[in-house]
Structure 1
Amino acid sequence: MEVLFCWTLLLSLLCGICRSRASHKPSCGYPPSQWCRSLEIAIECEVQKQCLELNSTKPNSDVPALEVTLYYESLCPGCRAFLTEQLFPTWTMLKDIMKVHLVPYGNAEERQNSVICQHGENECLGNMLESCIIHAVDHVAFQIIYCMESSSDVLKAAQLCLQLYAPSVRWETISSCATGAVGRSLMHKNAVKTRFLEPAHTHVPWVTFNGEYRDDWEDGAMSSLFSLVCSLYKGAQPPACTGVQKKLDRSFCLPHDK
């Protein structure tokens, strides 16, 4: 019921935005996922009122967001399933109370001037591409990586997913990063983060909450990450967690009479 209510609320708000956009036909150079990212974008896309309504459902609390960090590999089947079926849907519904960090490295091993990945060279390239995407377009990196990981071919989908969510970023910027010194530096940082986990990781996906790992938290994350995030967050619970409906003062833009 909680998940159904949240999706209903989100879709209702987005539909309101879309109806407004369809009637006014404004000039807007941003994809829908970014319409409410800033006041300037909302004004350009003429969706200020809808964004205010969307923001009114956010928790009004000074409690910091729950930090959820996923240590994973780009081609690991279990990692892909967790990211696409648990982590991304939960973040979509609870992004106001949780912050996601992605560390693509997993069970790889650093060697002299190279990295050996569990699922071969393609996984190393996937890890590198996703690290460069996080570095270059942090505000939509999760959406791009979800797009890649939910595709049948992670590597082939990368360029199209980047174009979909960050059309202003040239693919050459990402590809040159992945094959150059910047990418190697980013991968080394991921290796260090993974190597110094406490306790040491024994498998991937490996998930920490506010930098901590517990076996019971992992069990909860694998079965229902949504419920676990709601229970671990110490601030005021959003409507998605409580199931309490919040009535909004909303208006609609109807089609012109023919």
Structure 2
Amino acid sequence: MKLPGLLAVILFVCTDRRSSGLSHPKPACRYPPSQWCRSLEIAISCNVQKQCMEMNAIRPNQTVPPVSVTLYYESLCPDCRVFITQQLFPTWTMLQDIMAVTLVPYGNAKEIPSANSPFTCQHGEPECIGNMIEACIIHLTGHSAFQIIYCMESATDVLDAAHPCLQLYAPSVSWSSVNSCLKGGLGRQLMHANAAMTRALNPPHTHVPWVTFNGEYTENEEKTMSSLFRLVCQLYKGVKPPACTGAPVRLNRSFC
């Protein structure tokens, strides 16, 4: 199995150091190779700062703000799942230094005055449960949340995948804490906040997936839905990372 280019280069350099009698990554490095270039601090502790800098994988003193991409979506919406798995997550994987992703699971749901079931959802009660599970996971897991949501949305059954995806990407977060969020008041509070964010959209959303960039909606949905990678590169105001020379991935435009 081939390693990704950056990781392969770093592993080669470190292996070459060992074979030539030079020092290998410092004992203070407690991170797997896949995370060595995640931040400047990790790169320094793992003694690979030079290699990460040469590959432009880390950028200290970055003053240009990242492109803020906010997705308003539904957990069981087929077109939302396609967008997350084939556009948003791959783009974030390549461009996470220059983009920040916010996920708002709610979409076309409705908030109703009912003690037992305060929300109705486009794809039924299972979607309301899925929305709340994902809202709780986003709240509880922080930086691992997007990976967990991607894992769920790419699975055959989104709800069944929640527990194993959580264990895979955030093993320190217990499923019982997610259950407490779902059954207690926190889950409803999170969904109420998502409902308020969705209702505040200007212009109002007419379908999902609905995407804003730096808080603004773009009329050019063709670019958003089929060429997100290129669009993020275009919107970033700083020095473009090498990944931005890649070609766009084009998909058919569709909505729920």
Is the structural similarity TM-score above 0.5?
A: yes
Corresponding position of 1:15: 8
Superposed CA RMSD in Å reads 2.7
Provide the C-alpha distance between the structure 2 equivalents of 1:119 and 1:27, rounded to a whole number of angstroms. 49
Corresponding position of 1:104: 105
Structure 2 gap ranges (5+): 19-23, 247-256
1:162-214 Cα distance to aligned partner (Å, 9 max, x none): 11111111111112212220010000000000001000000000000000002
Corresponding position of 1:155: 159
How many residue pairs match? The answer is 230
Corresponding position of 1:81: 82
Corresponding position of 2:240: 237
Quick one: which amino acid aligns to residue 7 of structure 2? L
Summarize the Cα distance change of 1:156–1:234 in structure 2 as closer, same or farther, 3 Å threshold: same
Provide the C-alpha distance between the structure 2 equivalents of 1:135 and 1:32, rounded to a whole number of angstroms. 27
Provide the C-alpha distance between the structure 2 equivalents of 1:235 and 1:107, rounded to a whole number of angstroms. 35
Provide the C-alpha distance between the structure 2 equivalents of 1:28 and 1:122, rounded to a whole number of angstroms. 43
Structure 1 gap ranges (5+): 1-7, 244-258
Provide the C-alpha distance between the structure 2 equivalents of 1:27 and 1:163, rounded to a whole number of angstroms. 26
Provide the C-alpha distance between the structure 1 equivalents of 2:40 and 2:94, rounded to a whole number of angstroms. 22
Corresponding residue SS for 2:92: helix
Provide the C-alpha distance between the structure 2 equivalents of 1:77 and 1:189, rounded to a whole number of angstroms. 24
Greater helix fraction, Structure 1 or Structure 2: 1
For residue 242 of structure 1, report the CA deviation from its aligned partner: 3.2
Quick one: which amino acid aligns to residue 108 of structure 1? A
For residue 48 of structure 1, report the CA deviation from its aligned partner: 3.6
Aligned residue among 189, 196, 212 for 2:193: 189
Query: Does structure 2 conserve the Cα–Cα contact (< 8 Å) formed by 1:75 and 1:126?
Result: yes
For residue 121 of structure 1, report the CA deviation from its aligned partner: 1.1
Whose RCO is larger (CA < 8 A, sep 6+)? 1
Provide the C-alpha distance between the structure 2 equivalents of 1:167 and 1:180, rounded to a whole number of angstroms. 22
TM-score (norm 2): 0.80
Query: Does structure 1 conserve the Cα–Cα contact (< 8 Å) formed by 2:10 and 2:51?
Result: no
Q: Does 1:173 align with 2:171?
A: no
For residue 153 of structure 1, report the CA deviation from its aligned partner: 0.4
Corresponding position of 2:204: 200
Corresponding position of 2:251: none
Corresponding residue SS for 1:215: coil
Provide the C-alpha distance between the structure 2 equivalents of 1:195 and 1:212, rounded to a whole number of angstroms. 14
Q: Does 1:146 align with 2:150?
A: yes
Summarize the Cα distance change of 1:31–1:54 in structure 2 as closer, same or farther, 3 Å threshold: same
Query: Does structure 1 conserve the Cα–Cα contact (< 8 Å) formed by 2:43 and 2:52?
Result: no
